[in-house]
Amino acid sequence: MKWDANLYDNNHSFVSKYGEDLINVLGPAPGEIILDIGSGSGDLADLIVKRNVKVIGIDNSREMVEAARNKYPHIQFDIGSASNFSYDIKFDAVFSNATLHWVPDYEKAITCIGNALKTGGRFVAEFGGKGNVSNITDALKFQLISKGYTAVAESPLWYFPSLSEYTTLLEQKGFRVTFAAHFDRETLLKGDDGMKNWLIMFGKSYLEKLELNVAEEIINRVENQLRATNFKNGNWYADYVRLRFVAIKV
Ligand code: BEZ
């Protein structure tokens, strides 16, 4: 899937905004070397660098990496997969915001991250937890099935684990989990077309399997269906549920 870095920055800047709070949980100490997995257009990597640390950003989207390199030429951004990467150096911390739900090989990702960290290094991340955007995915599946696109509706898309599932994996792979939380974060989607824009941006992997006119019809139907649950006082909201944790490599 190709990412449109401009659309991402213009309409979905909330992704980086919430990430700023996660940087405080990361607590970068001057002189540390930190890996940002899923660095996107580079905004959070740049904020982390401002704490006097060295950051390497890695992202599997060429478009995003190019956009990040243009915006922040002083930072190293690499194209790479969260579940298949290695560096010659060991990091003090691995940081990741709103990325790990896109990684189908989530167990391999935890293994790679463990290998990349120094002993005592921390893995601080947030991504979609169990129940994330369930109103949206239920509506999308319902509309796809009602139009006969059952195979598309059933294709796996995101990984939204429960707190116990993910922290158990972390422990099995050599981490000590010192903090974990699973919480709701209803998220404002800017503008009258907020939900449509979200579906176009993030539902692309589903929708690009359809003819353009069918995709447009599905988007309209999903938006109509979601009006009852996700449109409040004139604004669209995504029913985000987050999983946030701090895990130490033992
Ligand atoms: C999320 O950040 O929770 C998310 C983003 C895009 C698609 C699905 C989930």
pLDDT band at 10 (very low <50, low <70, confident <90, very high): low
pLDDT at 3 over 60: no
200, 219 in Cβ contact below 8 A? yes
pLDDT tens per residue across span 74-129: 999 999 999 999 999 999 999 999 999 999 999 999 999 999 999 999 999 999 99
Q: Ligand 1 centroid to 40 CA: how many Å?
A: 13
Distance CA 245, CA 169 (A): 13
The predicted model gives 191-200 an average pLDDT of: 96
122, 247 in Cβ contact below 8 A? yes
Cβ of residue 140 lying under 6 Å from some atom of ligand 1: no
End-to-end alpha carbon distance in the chain: 36
Which domains can be identified in the chain, with CATH numbers? 5-132+158-187+238-249 (3.40.50.150)
Task: Name the closest-CA residue to atom 1, ligand 1.
Answer: 128
State which amino acid sits at residue 246.
Answer: V
pLDDT tens per residue across span 136-152: 999 999 999 999 999 99
pLDDT at 156: 85
Q: Give the chain's count of helices (H) and strands (E).
A: 11, 8
pLDDT tens per residue across span 69-88: 999 999 999 999 999 999 99
pLDDT at 9 over 80: no
pLDDT at 242: 98
Q: Ligand 1 centroid to 102 CA: how many Å?
A: 8
pLDDT at 2: 64
Cβ of residue 98 lying under 6 Å from some atom of ligand 1: yes
pLDDT at 205 over 90: no
pLDDT at 197: 96
Distance CA 181, CA 188 (A): 21
Distances in whole angstroms, Cα of residue 249 to Cα of each of 113, 116, 177: 9, 10, 9
pLDDT at 110: 98
Task: Name the closest-CA residue to atom 7, ligand 1.
Answer: 202
pLDDT tens per residue across span 15-41: 667 888 999 999 999 999 999 999 999
Cβ of residue 132 lying under 6 Å from some atom of ligand 1: yes
Task: Give percent of the chain above pLDDT 70.
Answer: 94
pLDDT at 5 over 70: no
pLDDT at 210 over 70: yes
pLDDT at 11: 62
Cβ of residue 14 lying under 6 Å from some atom of ligand 1: no
E strand intervals along 99-234: 117-128, 175-189, 231-232
Q: Ligand 1 centroid to 127 CA: how many Å?
A: 8
Ramachandran angles phi, psi of 160, nearest 5°? -120, 85
98, 127 in Cβ contact below 8 A? yes
Which of 127, 132, 134, 222 has most ligand 1 atoms within 8 Å of its beta carbon, as the pocket-test mutant? Answer: 132
Q: Ligand 1 centroid to 198 CA: how many Å?
A: 9
Q: Ligand 1 centroid to 118 CA: how many Å?
A: 29
Task: Name the closest-CA residue to atom 3, ligand 1.
Answer: 128
pLDDT at 246 over 70: yes
pLDDT at 1 over 90: no
Which residues neighbour 39 within 8 Å (Cβ) at sequence distance 6 or greater? 45, 57, 58, 59, 64, 65, 68, 77
Extract the tokens encoding 60: 């599997």
Which of 18, 158, 206 has most ligand 1 atoms within 8 Å of its beta carbon, as the pocket-test mutant? Answer: 158
